[in-house]
Structure 1
C-alpha cells in the first residue's frame, strides 16, 4: 500500500508580479496550455465566492511530486488574497457524479497549497506545500526520489508560463477573472452536503503498471510549444 508523502518547494520569481502568478494558478484555460501533463481538467461547481470543486487528470503529475502512471483527483479549493500576498489551499473530496475511474489511479490530496508573497512591483516568491497519497503500486522509494526533482521542475515550468501569461490573456477574455470578480463565475452552485471528505484509506489501490507512461518520461511537448 502507498503511504502519504510530503514535499515543500520554494521559488523566487523575478519579473513576475504576485498577482500574475495568482492568476496563472487559477486560470484553468491557460493551464491547459502550459501544463504538458494535463489530460483533462475542469471546474465542477462553486461553494462560496472563494471556494470551488474541480477535477484534474494527468499523466505523471497530479500534484508536482507524483511520477509515472495516469492519475486523477477531485479537490475542494479555497483561496484568499491578502494585499500583496495570496493563499490557495485544497484537499480531496468525494463527489457522487465523479467516482474513481477504472482507467486511472485516484490520488488523494490530504492538504496541498500555495503561498504567494509579493516582494516588489514585479517580483514574488511562491511556496508549495503538498501532502498527498498517490495510491497505485509505485514503490515508495521511487516516488520519494522522483519528487525531489519533479516538484522544482514543475515550478520552473509554471514560472515560464507566468512570463507569457499577460500576452496570452490579452487574447483570451482578458477581463474574465472570476477568482477576482465572483460575479463573473459561470459555475453552478454546489451544496456542501453533496460532498464528503476523501480519506486516503478508503480508496482501493489500482495497479497502473499497464497505463501509458508520462509525457515527462517520453520527453514530448516542450514548454515553448505548449504555450503557443
Structure 2
C-alpha cells in the first residue's frame, strides 16, 4: 500500500519538519499548525506538530488507530469500520457535517509501522484514499476521494508524546470559508484535546471491554 520511503520520510520530520513552503497558521495546546496552498484545488494542506503532555506514545498510537474506541468519543464519526475487499483491508468513515450541508464519507487504506531509530521507538500511521467497488457512494453524502494523512509519534523524552501530522483532503462542494477556518483553527486543537482526554481513559475502556467480552462468552 505504501512505500518504505514514505514511512522513513515521516520519521525524519519528527525532529526536522519540512515547512519551507508552508506558512504559520495557528498555535494551541503546545501544537503548531502550518499550511500550504495548493493551486490545483484552491485548498490547503496542513502540518501539525507538538507534544501531548502526560500521554505515552504507545497509548497515543493505540487510541489513534482503535476504530471502535474512536466511535465512542468522536461525535463527528457517524460511521467508522473496517471491511475486506479481496486481500485488502479498507476503512469506511462517515463524518457528520453541520446542517444543512451533506455529510462526507471516506474510503481509504491505512498502514501502521513501528521503528527503532537512534534509540527511540517510533510509530508511523499512513492513510490515503483508495477505490473499493464494494463500497458504493450514497445519496446525500459526498464521497471524499482525495485524502491523505500521515501521523508520526514517539516519546518526548519524558511522559509525553511528540507527534507530527501531515494532512490534506478535498471535501468538495461549496463549503463556506468560516467552516474551513474553523476546522483548521478550532477543530484540530479540539480534536487534540479530545484525544488527550480519551487517551487517559483508554485503560478503563479496555478493562470494561474485556469484562464485557468475558461475560458474553461465559468465561471467568
Residues 24 and 165 in structure 1, CA contact (< 8 A), matched pair in contact too: yes
Deviation at 1:148, TM superposition (A): 2.0
TM-score between the two structures when normalised by the length of structure 2: 0.67
Q: What is the SS of the residue equivalent to 1:78?
A: strand
In structure 1, distance between residues paired with 2:94 and 2:59: 24
Q: What is the SS of the residue equivalent to 1:102?
A: coil
Relative contact order: is structure 1 or structure 2 higher (C-alpha 8 Å, sep ≥ 6)?
1
Give 1:126's aligned residue.
163
Deviation digits for residues 208-227 of structure 1 (CA, Å, limit 9, x no counterpart): xxxxxxxxxxxxxxxxxxxx
How many residues are matched? 166
Give 2:173's aligned residue.
136
Q: What is the SS of the residue equivalent to 1:159?
A: helix
In structure 1, distance between residues paired with 2:139 and 2:46: 28
More strand by share: 2
Q: Within the alignment, does 1:81 sit opposite 2:114 as a pair?
A: yes
Q: Within the alignment, does 1:162 sit opposite 2:162 as a pair?
A: no
Q: Could you say if the C-alpha distance between residues 109 and 122 of structure 1 is closer, same or farther in structure 2, counting changes exceeding 3 Å? A: farther
Q: Could you say if the C-alpha distance between residues 109 and 126 of structure 1 is closer, same or farther in structure 2, counting changes exceeding 3 Å? A: farther
**Which 5+ residue runs of structure 2 have no aligned equivalent?**
1-39, 214-220
- Which range moves more in the overlay, 92-101 or 106-115? 106-115
Residues 102 and 140 in structure 2, CA contact (< 8 A), matched pair in contact too: no
**Which 5+ residue runs of structure 1 have no aligned equivalent?**
62-67, 177-228
Deviation at 1:31, TM superposition (A): 0.6
Instruction: Give the RMSD, CA atoms, in angstroms.
Output: 2.6
1:25 to 48, 64, 75: 64
1:44 to 60, 75, 83: 83
Deviation digits for residues 77-114 of structure 1 (CA, Å, limit 9, x no counterpart): 11111132111011101111112211211123432121
Q: What is the SS of the residue equivalent to 1:120?
A: coil
